[in-house]
Amino acid sequence: MDINLSTGEIAFRNEVRAFLQDKLPPQVKSGAAGSPSVFVEPEIGQTWNAVLHKQGWLGYQWPVEYGGTGWSAVQRYIFEKECALAGAPNLTVLGLKLVAPAIWTFGTEEQKRRYLPRILTGDDYWCQGFSEPGSGSDLASLQCRALRVSDAGGDRYILNGSKIWTTHAHHANRMFCLVRTDATARKQAGISFLLVDMNQPGITVRPILTMAGDHEVNQVFLEDVVVPVEDRLGDEGAGWTIAKFLLENERGGSCHAPKLSFDLDRLEQAAQSEPDGRGGTMAGDHQWRRKLARARLSAQALEMIELKIVSEIAKGRPPGPQTSLTKLLASNLRQEIDLLAVDLYGAGGLQLDLERPLYGADAPAPVHSRDAQLAAPRYLNSRAWTIFGGTNEVQAQIIAKSVLGL
Ligand SMILES: Cc1cc2nc3c(=O)[nH]c(=O)nc-3n(C[C@H](O)[C@H](O)[C@H](O)COP(=O)(O)OP(=O)(O)OC[C@H]3O[C@@H](n4cnc5c(N)ncnc54)[C@H](O)[C@@H]3O)c2cc1C
């Protein structure tokens, strides 16, 4: 595997760096730095999306024909890495990186024409309705029923059931949703993939507040919700195939290591002035530094694996089950780094404000410092990393079966 950048790729990296230097708005950067949750609030995320869209870079993973950049796998990695190193917010993945590739891969021409541009312009904000109470890891057991009705009112599905842990459902106007269209078929075969309009009667979004105090996730109740048949993606019963495609995109092909390294840099810098309680600073605390060094090595090893996946994709091969490995490693490391921050700030890192946001003029005052104020909510919020997108145990099983052949 050759991980050296070509002259063209170095020029591209410099172009991205110059753009970020010039165009990343300070309030977006400070909003990203002050958000303990994985997803930044739409006011931050959508502002950044609009800047990228203006530049023509928002669809940085999209084919040119749908308004994307058509960049190579290496260019995409460079872009994500430079964004992370510049402190840009995580992009709102649900529309951009999850449902969009499913639409251009499995959708009709009409669905592509209708939905893809609206993701880039920000007119549609998507959420993901897969998990249900009792159906998370065993997703194929999902129960949300979609009954097909064809009469003078049109050819449509009527949905009844509930989705849970639905990230940003309270902001979304569209939900991509797995439903059971055939209760008699083998459980995977009876599932279909629907594109649901959230702005209709019968949909109730109930907030779930996390222990960190963030409102990121919800339970969504569906009562006689109507979805026209033309808003089904793929064939009836093909939902499981589309979901597997989408989950592979969710778990990997992405760039976690640079963001993790960026956070380690910030901690290392903060340690220079953080008192150790013995007259020195935490930069001289050997035990803490040892943990920092171990996390750094893990981040570097993770970046090597991510680059290996990029090089596979560049050769036209699918990322495959290695994405489970990067999801597993990145999740563990995320939690390790957030624990390092709590250790670094000591008592100052135990402040737990439940008000949001923790950035901007209305943020509650920090007891110690802004960074210390974020340590506890970040630590608590990042417990979710080893759960969402498939738990660690589930990833380990995929690796055991598909990679190790056990
Ligand atoms: C912050 C957050 C955001 C989320 N966002 C979304 C979203 O936007 N849309 C969406 O659809 N879902 C979302 N989820 C749901 C997420 O995908 C599920 O929580 C996850 O798949 C686990 O399912 P579960 O919660 O039902 O736990 P369960 O499946 O009940 O698992 C409970 C425990 O049992 C273990 N376990 C389960 N099965 C096995 C097995 N076969 N072998 C070994 N151990 C096993 C698990 O690892 C876990 O430790 C989100 C979750 C979180 C925490």
Q: Kindly list the averaged pLDDT for each block of 10 residues, start to end, along the chain of length 406.
A: 84 98 97 93 96 97 96 94 95 92 97 98 98 96 97 95 98 98 94 98 97 96 98 98 85 80 96 95 97 98 92 81 89 98 94 93 93 96 94 94 88
**250 is annotated as an active-site residue:** yes
Pocket test for ligand 1, best of 126, 127, 128, 137 (most atoms within 8 A of CB): 137
Atom of ligand 1 nearest to the CA of 391: 47
What pLDDT, on a 0 to 100 scale, did the predictor assign at position 253?
A: 60
Atom of ligand 1 nearest to the CA of 168: 8
What pLDDT, on a 0 to 100 scale, did the predictor assign at position 122?
A: 96
Instruction: Give the active site residue among 250, 274, 303, 336.
Output: 250
Peptide bond into 357 cis (omega under 30): yes
What pLDDT, on a 0 to 100 scale, did the predictor assign at position 406?
A: 87
Strands 215-228 and 154-164: antiparallel
Determine which residue's CA is closest to atom 48 belonging to ligand 1. Answer: 391
Question: Which token pair is 178?
Answer: 């797995």
What pLDDT, on a 0 to 100 scale, did the predictor assign at position 92?
A: 82
Angle between helix 286-314 and helix 73-85 axes, rounded to 10 deg: 150
CATH code of domain 252-403 = 1.20.140.10
Question: Which token pair is 290?
Answer: 């040892």
Q: How many CB atoms lie within 10 A of CB 5?
A: 13
**Extents of the domains making up the chain:** 7-91, 126-238, 252-403
* CB proximity list for 89: less than 8 A, separation 6 or greater: 28, 31, 32, 35, 40, 44, 45, 48
Determine which residue's CA is closest to atom 13 belonging to ligand 1. Answer: 165
What pLDDT, on a 0 to 100 scale, did the predictor assign at position 251?
A: 58
Residue ranges lining ligand 1, Cβ < 6 Å: 127-131, 136-137, 165-167, 216-217, 384, 387-388, 390-391, 393-394, 397
What pLDDT, on a 0 to 100 scale, did the predictor assign at position 2?
A: 63
Q: Is 170 exposed, middle or buried (0-12, 13-18, 19+ CB in 10 A)?
A: middle
The superfamily CATH assigns to domain 126-238 is Butyryl-CoA Dehydrogenase, subunit A, domain 2 (2.40.110.10)
The CA dihedral of 114, 117, 122, 123, to the nearest 10 degrees, is -30
Instruction: Calculate how far, in angstroms, residue 387's C-alpha sits from the geometric centre of ligand 1.
Output: 5
